[in-house]
Chains A and B, each alone.
Chain A
Amino acid sequence: MLLTRLASSTVHRLFIVASKPNPHLLHQGAALQIPPKTARTMSRTSESSSSSSSFKEAFGNYADYLNNLNEKRERVVKASRDITMNSKKVIFQVHRISKYNRDEVLDKAEKDLAAVTKQYMVKLVKELQGTDFWKLRRAYSPGVQEYVEAATFCKFCRTGTLLHLDEINATLLPLSEPSIEPLQINVLDYLLGLADLTGELMRLAIGRISDGELEYAKKICQFVRDIYRELTLIVPYIDDGSDMKIKMDTMLQSVVKIENACFSVHVRGSEYMPLLGSSEPSSFLLGVSDVEL
């Protein structure tokens, strides 16, 4: 019985030797007497072991691939953070708008936005070539969403219309050489940024109401309602739409807040003291002369 076992293990050994010439294994007889630890050291240090060295070569390549990927990812995340921070500054700048400083506020905001584009969005251009555009989406998406939010916010305050995806992508074309793939924002990031825009518009509307610009607030209300309506048709088709669904809920809350604020002003408007000299029939100051201010 021992002989057959010996024979079978020899056959095994020969089989291994036949498939892969491996001088190391021929010394197995001696190695077997050594406790496991040394055997392991032996296999590690044996340079003639072609199987482990071929592992090493291949895994060296895999290591390079992973290193490059992770470093790129880090760069993209950093760029995304810069974009987020500076886009937020643009948004805050726009919030400073009022009846009296509209143009200067918007001019500065647009200038700042252009700076964000030129300084920070440009960093994404070279990182997101080819398949990396989708591979690294999680890394840059928050930054791009914030950027879309800022850009659409500026446009709305300037013209009252929505900045289209094509338009915003057109502004990104000059960032890259015509020979390489331009950075183009994808539909998903655009829509997510748009959802965030409604939150900022809600804040703007409430602020405008406080300043007495009720009509402006109503325009915002109408605009946000339109966006909400359009998006309800699209939400089901969005890739991993769980983010979007949460944003839709928030959006509805924003719309309702604006509507409620407009309602309050509308209903309570008659309670406001009219200016001296107002010819409003309900005004108790009817007939009083104007005040020079």
Chain B
Amino acid sequence: MKSAFRNAYLFTVSLSRSLNPNTNPYLNLCSFSHKLPLLSTTYLSPPLLISRHRKVPGRSFSTTLSMSGGADSPSPSLDKQFEEFRSKLEESGSLREKIRAVVLEIESTTRLMHSGLLLVHQSRPVPEVLEKAKAQIGVLQGFYNRLAEITRECPGQYYRYHGDWKSETQTVVSLLTFMYWLETGNLLMHSEAEEKLGLNSLEFGLDIEDYLIGVCFMSNEMPRYVVNQVTNGDYDCPRKVLKFLTDLHAAFRMLNLRNDFLRKKFDGMKYDLRRVEEVYYDVKIRRLTGTGDSKDANQGVVEGEDYDVKIRG
């Protein structure tokens, strides 16, 4: 059958030139037209082609290809290679599972810290709130150490697994920077954040983009904080927050960002800034901030409203 198949090509071409090539799907005429002249070359010995040979042309062609390996069984080297891949990938898979376990614990710790920190919105005294949250930093250090240990087994592959701890780390940074700001009114720098978590950039560091995104998340907390502080009578807060957030926004504007997640978060910061400005303005025009005026609060409000009307035309 096979030789017949092969021979059929030559036969159909030689006999039926008038045949419309398109009707016969197995006729590959275009390649055939240059095959015919070649038939007379010694490239393939003629007996193979015009053959009464029972020998299958295909098989002889394949021997010229010197195809190695058994006809039907996979070569052992193929198996071996894939076995190696499988064990390597299994290892990295189990590494990933270990990492995920630690990351889950990081996540539950940050949740604990976050819920504690939320008390500042209810005007609990800041030092008290910070006390509890700070205790958790030690716990976090422990977790990040474990991550460093785990990844120590595969040096240089920090970024292979980075996606697994990326968002939790961003949350951690946002909490730490918020706490630092509550304490000192300043921005926690990248290197300081790294130190707090017991990380070092040579081995297992804090990715700078994670840090920046964390800072953007922190700024999201500001409007709410400012509003609640004012409601509770701290009228100086808006000024401080405004200054801080303005400086922060200006600093971020120095960065050239791509259109990625970081850019999106940074774009959100200006809405936080605007909200804080509004609060600051509300407080200021009503003369609620302590300016040494001898006017009392109510009158201040009335005058504030007059002023409001005046400037708004």
Contact = CB atoms under 8 A, between A and B. Distances in A.
A36 interface: yes
Nearest to A28: B239
Contacts of B72: 222
A55 B258 contact: no
A16 B184 CA distance: 8
A177 B204 CA distance: 28
B14 A160 contact: no
A169 interface: no
Contact of B277 (A36, A55, A56, A291): A36
Contacts of A59: 251-252, 254-255
Contacts of A238: 89
Interface stretch (A83-91, A117-125, A197-205, A270-278): A270-278
Given A2-B296, A62-B190, A277-B52, A283 B277 contact: no
B95 to A, nearest CB: 10
Interface in B233-252: 235-236, 239-240, 242-244, 246-248, 250-252
A161 B254 contact: no
A276 B296 contact: no
A56 B26 CA distance: 73
A51 B62 contact: no
Nearest to A293: B39
Interface in B139-173: 156-160, 162-163
A272 B8 contact: yes
B12 interface: yes
A27 interface: no
B45 interface: no
A132 to B, nearest CB: 8
B28 A290 contact: no
Nearest to A66: B255
A115 to B, nearest CB: 25
A9 B288 CA distance: 11
Chain A interface size band reads 35 or more
A293 B10 contact: yes
B35 interface: yes
Contacts of A291: 11, 14, 50
B68 A160 contact: yes
B110 interface: no
B309 interface: no
Contacts of A272: 4-5, 8, 26
Contact of B255 (A28, A63, A164, A166): A63
A214 B58 contact: yes
A2 B294 contact: yes
A60 interface: yes
B93 interface: yes
Secondary structure class of chain A's binding surface, majority of residues? helix
B256 interface: yes
B30 to A, nearest CB: 10
B313 interface: no
A211 B28 contact: yes
B62 A215 contact: yes
B68 A159 contact: yes
Contacts of B162: 134-135
Interface stretch (A96-104, A141-149, A248-256): A96-104
A173 interface: no
Contacts of B289: 9, 32
A35 B51 CA distance: 101
Contacts of A137: 159-160
B247 A275 contact: no
B124 interface: no
Contacts of B8: 272-275
B3 A226 contact: no
Contacts of A275: 4, 6-8, 10-11, 50-51
A58 to B, nearest CB: 5
A23 B44 CA distance: 95
B4 A131 contact: no
Contacts of B75: 161-162
A66 B208 contact: yes
A135 B244 CA distance: 33
A32 B62 contact: no
Contact of B92 (A1, A65, A237, A282): A237
Nearest to A186: B160
Contacts of A9: 235-236, 289-290
B86 A215 contact: no
A40 interface: yes
8 contacts: A161-B77, A187-B85, A187-B88, A191-B85, A236-B93, A239-B160, A278-B3, A293-B40
Interface of A: 1-2, 5-6, 8-10, 12, 16, 19-20, 28-29, 32-33, 35-36, 39-40, 43-44, 49, 51-52, 54-56, 58-60, 62-63, 65-67, 70, 98-100, 102, 130-131, 133-135, 137, 159-162, 164-166, 187, 191, 210-216, 219, 222, 226, 229-231, 233-234, 236-240, 265, 269-270, 272-280, 282-283, 290-293
Given A40-B246, A279-B52, 12 more contacts: A19-B184, A58-B189, A59-B251, A62-B208, A63-B254, A135-B162, A160-B67, A210-B26, A212-B6, A234-B89, A269-B4, A293-B10
Interface of B: 1-12, 14, 26, 28, 31, 35-36, 38-40, 43-44, 49-52, 56-59, 61-62, 64-69, 71-72, 74-75, 77-79, 81-82, 85-86, 88-90, 92-93, 96, 156-160, 162-163, 184-187, 189-190, 208-209, 212, 235-236, 239-240, 242-244, 246-248, 250-252, 254-258, 277, 280-281, 284, 289-294, 296-297
